[in-house]
């Protein structure tokens, strides 16, 4: 007898569960950035690097609850943004100073 071919019933796209993950991660990261981050006595650049690494570790660590992983991803995104924006804005200033714009 021939075997029955199984097809995957996996749906693609953005689900309500995905939206809840994003919102919970952003909310927890915002609470961290408002209440905990200002109490860390380090310079901005060093603090952003440490928080970026901590966020990456939290987001990939197995066994962590979903909100903690989502917070780690959001924290990594926030701090990566804070590190990259000054570099990109510096490129614009260098181009205008050298007459390239």
Q: Identify whether 45 is part of a domain.
A: yes
Q: Taken in order 38, 71, 60, 86, is the CA torsion positive or negative?
A: negative
Q: Identify whether 54 is part of a domain.
A: yes
Q: Identify whether 61 is part of a domain.
A: yes
Mean predicted lDDT score pLDDT of the chain: 83
Q: Give the per-residue pLDDT at 73.
A: 92
The per-type count for the chain, helices as H runs and strands as E runs, is 3, 0
For 75-95, what is each residue's pLDDT tens digit?
Answer: 999 999 999 998 888 776 665
Q: Identify whether 2 is part of a domain.
A: no
Q: Identify whether 12 is part of a domain.
A: no
Mean pLDDT calculated for residue range 59-85: 91
Into how many domains does the chain fold? Answer: 1
pTM: 0.71
| Structural domain harbouring 41 | 21-95
């Amino acid at each position: 007898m021939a075997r029955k071919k199984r097809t995957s019933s996996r749906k693609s796209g953005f689900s309500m569960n995905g939206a809840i993950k994003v919102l919970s991660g952003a909310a927890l990261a915002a609470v961290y950035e408002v209440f905990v981050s200002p109490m860390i006595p380090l310079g901005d650049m060093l603090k952003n690097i440490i928080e970026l690494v901590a966020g990456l570790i939290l987001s990939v660590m197995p066994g962590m609850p979903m909100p903690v992983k989502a917070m780690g991803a959001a924290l990594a995104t926030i701090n990566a943004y804070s590190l990259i924006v000054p570099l990109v804005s510096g490129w614009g200033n260098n181009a205008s100073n050298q007459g390239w714009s």
